[in-house]
Amino acid sequence: MKRRIQHATFLVALVVGLALSTAARLPTQEVVDRIAARVENDVILESELRTLSRYQTLVDGKPESDAQILDRLIDQWVVRMEADASNFPRPSDAEVQLGIERLQKSFNSSEEYEARKKQSGLSDVEIRNLVASQLYLRSYLDSRFRAAVQVDAKAIEDFYQKAVVPRAQERGQAPPSLEAASDYIQEALVQQGISEQADRWLKESRARLHVDKLTDEGAK
């Protein structure tokens, strides 16, 4: 009888202990995802802001301010809404994998990449999703504005003389010939033109949107 009482007492103590332990953990496990901004009838969450901040840490070593990141997320919202409405194709698994490999090769070594990834706090799945999203948005902007960008021979030669040659000289290297660098320069100028046109379009689009920034820094 005494053993049964002791056993029952032990079970009660165990159950109470587990209950108290669980209750003590609940406040730290509860995560409330606040709204960073309202865009039309949609919302941008603070978790999205934090994720893009960590991605910038991975890619650039440090993030922009929360206000700048929120502006980027609003721009991405505009591009995504239009791309989705036009049924623009998502990047394939192979294209996403190639994007991840390009990201990894942008570092001096795999060890540097892994160290930066650890610093950012991003998982491989999160990185893959972010790369896929960036590819989708960039591809849509490319398809929308590339045809309108015109690059002539003088612009290519000016870029060669003002950018390619000085950069090679700074590195103590012989610059490539204009002919050898022409295709690279043309694509760089096309991308610059796409970026400029996209910036103008986004500025005009945002002026027509109803946006409420709810974060302290974003509201400034």
pLDDT digits (tens, 9 = 90+) for 173-194: 999 999 999 999 999 999 999 9
Q: Residues 78-93: what's their mean pLDDT?
A: 97
Instruction: Specify the pLDDT at position 28.
Output: 47
Q: Which two tokens stand for residue 56?
A: 């910038």
Question: Residue 181 and residue 201: Cα distance in Å, rounded?
Answer: 30
Confidence of residue 102 (pLDDT cuts 50, 70, 90): very high
pLDDT cut 90: percent of the chain above it:
82
| Helix and strand totals (H; E) in the chain | 9, 3
Q: Please determine, for residue 82, whether its predicted confidence score (pLDDT) is greater than 70.
A: yes
List the chain domain ranges: 1-30, 35-213
Instruction: Specify the pLDDT at position 62.
Output: 94
Q: Which two tokens stand for residue 45?
A: 């969450």
Q: Please determine, for residue 140, whether its predicted confidence score (pLDDT) is greater than 50.
A: yes
Confidence of residue 74 (pLDDT cuts 50, 70, 90): very high
* CATH 1.10.150.20 at 35-213, yes or no: no
| Alpha-carbon dihedral angle through residues 67, 70, 71, 77, given to the nearest 10 degrees | -170
Q: Please determine, for residue 85, whether its predicted confidence score (pLDDT) is greater than 50.
A: yes
pLDDT cut 70: percent of the chain above it:
83
Average pLDDT, the chain: 87
Instruction: Specify the pLDDT at position 33.
Output: 86
Question: Residue 170 and residue 159: Cα distance in Å, rounded?
Answer: 16
What are the residues whose beta carbons fall under 8 Å from the beta carbon of 73, sequence distance 6 or more? Answer: 36, 37, 44, 48, 49, 52
The CA angle 75-81-87, to the nearest 5 degrees, is: 135
> How many residues are present in the chain?
220
Instruction: Specify the pLDDT at position 217.
Output: 52
**Up-side HSE of residue 206: CA atoms within 13 Å toward CB?**
19
The CA angle 44-99-141, to the nearest 5 degrees, is: 55
Q: Residues 125-141: what's their mean pLDDT?
A: 97
